[in-house]
Amino acid sequence: MDSWSTSVDVDFEFETLVLRMNPPRVTVDNVSDKKGTLIKVDSMNKRGSLLEVVQVLTDLNLIIKRAYISSDGEWFMDVFHVTDQYGNKVSEDNFSERIQQSLGPKGRSFRSLKRSVGVQAAVEHTTIELTGKDRPGLLSDVFAVLTDLKCNVVAAEVWTHNSRMASVVYITDETNGLAINDPDRLAKIKQLLLYVLKGDRDKRSPNTAVSVGSTHTERRLHQMMYADRDYDTDGMGCVSTSGRSNPLVTVENCADKGYTLVNLRCPDRPKLLFDTVCTLTDMQYVVFHGTIIAEGPEAHQEYYIRHMDGGPISSEAERQRVIHCLEAAIKRRTSEGLRLELCGEDRVGLLSDVTRIFRENGLSVTRAEVSTRGSQAANVFYVTDASGCPVKTETIEAVRKEIGLTILHVKDDDYLNSPPLQTGKFSLGNLFRSRSEKVLYNLGLIRSL
């Protein structure tokens, strides 16, 4: 074991000991707030405390309506006004115990040992991480390669932003349903996926990583896209097709108090607080005070931050970088396109077939959430046409007929309220199909055209 690993282990054991001696205190109050549940968290202050609390509340599918953050000194106190997904108070009797256990030493050990979202805990799996330039048909090519290599995708999440793509994919061996441990096979998977990710005009190198286990999927996606510089606006930016307004982020120094003040306004959505706190943490900033208000269609977040060394932001270039990174963090999860839900019996190659049909009909996947519950697949795709514009109704109906009207459903009010069109099958994707399949065939990834 090297010195770095030994140092990490010692630091982890020390922090675990401190947590055992001074465990977080969690109180849940359903009386003080008429509209929601009040959650107070008191704990020793350490790096990442705020993100851990927000991550736990987000993983419990709570909607944070208001929050007040204070972490000066050696102790911090966070106050959250939350509801469940339906806007109701949280009524579980053991809710405070669940949160306290998640934040305590046992919960922290569990988080550090890597975990996944959307995969049954009993299933061992291999994690694949992918970053690169986005293009029409890319997801279809990735799933086709995995299917040809006898890999079964049990869960995945895909984000796209500013012409970049990041994905965390959980796979098992097709034959035995277990994690893939063979180094030679893992190296081949990594190499072939890297071929698929490479683009002729991509200024940044694509990346692949393969490991046994998993991590917190959404946290990792933020880290991957940040490392891939998706916040860089020099390249081709994505065109919004949803009509949503851009976030407003301002950053200014408070010279008298030694803080940098960050203000953020944007349309509210679930997990917004997690996305912004995650980004500030990964950029090595510490939130000392904060106020979050999200009780209407718009969210307002205010943070007083410093560097880890205690200083405020010191240059205009750094100020602009914080603005761009927070804007990117908000937009990554802001889903562009039509929402399609696929629910049905899971099988090997299902994702390869579905995304191939998308590609053949000229659909581009801007975001995807793939999960497996027992023998059932529960997948969500957000799609646009190849140029990023809204998809035509006749195209969607052709795709639904090919995949199955009872399996693939449209979840969009504007689409569902539009008059039905009687049309035949419509396909724009043959150009993408022929070009992509020739590449895969030349690499030996598919057996025939």
- What is the mean predicted confidence (pLDDT) over 264-281? 96
- pLDDT value, residue 10: 43
- What is the mean predicted confidence (pLDDT) over 394-412? 93
Question: What band does 210 get if pLDDT is binned at 50, 70 and 90?
Answer: confident
pLDDT-wise least confident of 135-144, 234-243, 279-288 = 234-243
Tell me the one-letter amino acid at 205: S
3-state secondary structure 357-425: HHHHCCEEEEEEEEEEECCEEEEEEEEEECCCCCCCHHHHHHHHHHHCCCCEEECCHHHHCCCCCCCCC
pLDDT-wise least confident of 197-201, 290-294, 436-440 = 436-440
- pLDDT value, residue 141: 95
Report the C-alpha gap between 224 and 227 in whole angstroms: 5
- pLDDT value, residue 115: 36
Question: What band does 46 get if pLDDT is binned at 50, 70 and 90?
Answer: confident
pLDDT digits (tens, 9 = 90+) for 295-309: 999 999 999 999 988
Query: Phi, psi at residue 337, to the nearest 5°?
Result: 105, 180
- pLDDT value, residue 250: 97
Whether residue 156 contacts residue 146, with contact meaning beta carbons closer than 8 Å, is answered with: no
CB burial of residue 426 (10 Å; 0-12, 13-18, 19+): middle
More confident residue, 14 or 181: 181
Task: With a cut of 60, say whether residue 21 has pLDDT above it.
Answer: no
| Short-list 339, 153, 315, CA closest to 242 | 339
- What is the mean predicted confidence (pLDDT) over 171-195? 92
Question: What band does 186 get if pLDDT is binned at 50, 70 and 90?
Answer: very high
- What is the mean predicted confidence (pLDDT) over 296-323? 94
**How many Cβ atoms sit within 10 Å of the Cβ of residue 81?**
22
- pLDDT value, residue 257: 86
- What is the mean predicted confidence (pLDDT) over 401-418? 82
β partners of residue 341: 380, 409
pLDDT-wise least confident of 94-108, 201-215, 268-282 = 94-108
More confident residue, 208 or 242: 208
Q: Which two tokens stand for residue 22?
A: 């001074």
Task: With a cut of 50, say whether residue 255 has pLDDT above it.
Answer: yes
Report the C-alpha gap between 180 and 203 in whole angstroms: 32
- What is the mean predicted confidence (pLDDT) over 109-115? 38
Question: What band does 118 get if pLDDT is binned at 50, 70 and 90?
Answer: very low
Total length of the chain: 449
DSSP state of 336: -
- pLDDT value, residue 435: 45
Residues of the chain with pLDDT > 90: what percent?
59
Question: What band does 269 get if pLDDT is binned at 50, 70 and 90?
Answer: very high
pLDDT digits (tens, 9 = 90+) for 414-444: 666 665 544 333 333 343 444 455 555 555 5
More confident residue, 237 or 128: 128
DSSP state of 407: T
**How many Cβ atoms sit within 10 Å of the Cβ of residue 6?**
10
Task: With a cut of 50, say whether residue 91 has pLDDT above it.
Answer: yes
- pLDDT value, residue 411: 86
Identify the residue whose tokens are 């509340």: 57
Residues of the chain with pLDDT > 70: what percent?
78
Which domains are delineated in the chain? 1-113 (3.30.70.260), 126-233+336-442 (3.30.70.260), 243-333 (3.30.70.260)
- pLDDT value, residue 20: 52
- pLDDT value, residue 396: 95
Task: With a cut of 70, say whether residue 350 has pLDDT above it.
Answer: yes
Q: Give the rounded distance of the alpha carbon of 138 from its chain centre.
A: 18
- What is the mean predicted confidence (pLDDT) over 346-355? 93
Give the list of residues 6+ apart from residue 74 with CB closer than 8 angstroms, or none.
Answer: 44, 45
- pLDDT value, residue 416: 61
- What is the mean predicted confidence (pLDDT) over 106-116? 41
Task: With a cut of 60, say whether residue 238 has pLDDT above it.
Answer: no
Question: What band does 97 get if pLDDT is binned at 50, 70 and 90?
Answer: confident
Q: Which two tokens stand for residue 141?
A: 């090519």
